[in-house]
Structure 1
Amino acid sequence: MTKLSTFARVRQLEGWQAVAFSAALLERMLPNFALFKEVTDFDDEGVCEKCLSLLWESIKSPKSKINFSVQLEKVEQVTPDTADYDTFGVYPAIDATIGLAAAIMLVLKQDLQGSVVISKLSQGSVEAYLLASGVAEDEIKAHPLMEFEVALQNALLDAVTTSGPVAGVCDTLKQLALEEGISNIGIEIKG
């Protein structure tokens, strides 16, 4: 039996597991957005953090009434435009908001591959950051930050596919995502 690639494993996720995996990755992507907000005085009025909380809530309490169409509109409104900023930080910030939108579209069943989009966005953010930092393209796969990203995605996949109560699995995923205290591109997460 050949070992499936990370993306192939993500493609197999369905339902709450796909959303939970996505939310865990977003826990590591949103700090990049938070730093961008801090550096540029960009104000999303807490839309992105609230949306991530609502994603977790929708998994743990499936009967909760959350209007994700409205949340999608809000996220789209606070997605920064590269034309307005000349700082690299706008790119991982955009990746985070696009990831949130993909997770919402997954919940709304408008894009059942939303978790794959987020998985690729997260790895793409790491790759773009390393390239911008001067790491040669042929050295990216072996860079510790990229190796950690791939290992963490696989650890999240292992955790989300274990049996157990949904809330417990979600707590494990969130803990795994945050335990190193860094975003996907290595920014310290402020507690």
Structure 2
Amino acid sequence: MNKKLNIFQQVRELEGWYAVAFSATLLERMLPNYTLFCEVTEFADPAQYRKTLNSIWEWLAVPKAKINFAAQLEKVEELVPDASDFDNYGVYPAIDVAMSMSATILLIQEQDLQGAVVVSKLSQGGVEAFIEASSEQELEPQDIKQHPLMQWEIETQQELLILLNKSPKNAETCKKLKTLATTEGMSNIGIEI
């Protein structure tokens, strides 16, 4: 449990650009969950979420970029699935993506300075929920911590924190972060990209 607290504490200390970059990288790993949900249920066109995440990356890479994040937030919030409307598990990871996207935009707008912590917790929590939902038996907290997906999630967040700690705020760092997020070819819950 100590590692988990340690990560959240480190994320809490991220500020401004670094907090947004951390959030965008985790979102890049989570987005396929939303996309797959939309494709399977025909809930909505997932392209809007891709566009919004691309806008976040642009904001990070091009500091002078003019992006209307109030409008982006509105579009994101219009496309949040309601869990009570669906009977498949995929709605929950999709909601995590939507909440993470909103938290990241609010962070950019400086309306919620803990947005990166929200995204970190949603990403880890989503992995934990997925592990529990896909298990045949009741799992102990220790079993969840030792599950390969959870270990991968924690390692990825730690690697991300280390990378951000020694990287400048620029487009090159954004490329490295995107590579970190997509190199395994899987979302945070193991869905192939």
Cα pair distance change 1:15/1:179, threshold 3 Å: same
- State the distance in 1 between where 2:46 and 2:159 align: 32
Alignment of 1:1-191 (within 5 A): 5-44=6-45, 46-134=47-135, 136-138=139-141, 139-164=143-168, 166-189=170-193
In the alignment, the residues of structure 2 paired with residue 119 and residue 165 of structure 1 have an alpha-carbon distance, to the nearest angstrom, of 20
- Percent of matched pairs sharing the same residue: 56
How many Å separate the matches in 2 of 1:163 and 1:78? 34
RMSD over equivalenced CA pairs, Å? 1.5
Matched position secondary structure for 2:173: helix
- The whole-number CA distance in structure 2 between the counterparts of 1:137 and 1:30 is 28
- The worse-fitting range, judged by mean Cα deviation, of 35-44 and 110-119 is 35-44
Any runs of at least 4 consecutive aligned residues in structure 1 with deviations exceeding 3 A, and if so which? none
Paired residue secondary structure (1:74): helix
- Seen in structure 2, the aligned counterparts of structure 1 residues 188 and 61 have a Cα distance that, compared at 3 Å, is same
C-alpha contact 2:34 2:46 (8 A) present in aligned 1? no
Work out whether residues 131 and 137 of structure 1, in 8 Å CA contact, stay in contact via their aligned partners in 2.
Answer: no
Instruction: Give the superposition deviation at 1:79.
Output: 0.4
Compute the TM-score of the two structures, normalised by the length of structure 2.
0.93
Q: Deviations over 1:97-139 (max 9, x none)?
A: 1000000000000000100000000000000000101161331
Contact residue 80 and residue 90 of structure 1 kept, 8 A: yes
Structure 1 unaligned runs (5+)?
A: none
Structure 2 spans left out of the alignment, 5+ residues: none
The alpha-carbon deviation at position 45 of structure 1 amounts to 5.5
- Whether the 8 Å contact between 1:33 and 1:93 is mirrored in structure 2 is yes
Instruction: Please tell me the residue identity of whatever aligns with 1:169.
Output: T
Q: Give the Cα separation in 1 of the matches to 2:150 and 2:182.
A: 16
Kept in 1, the 8 Å contact 2:17–2:169? The answer is no
Deviation at 1:29, TM superposition (A): 0.5
When the two structures are aligned, how many residues end up with a matched partner?
188
SS at match of 2:146: coil
Conservation of the 8 A alpha-carbon contact between 1:140 and 1:146: yes
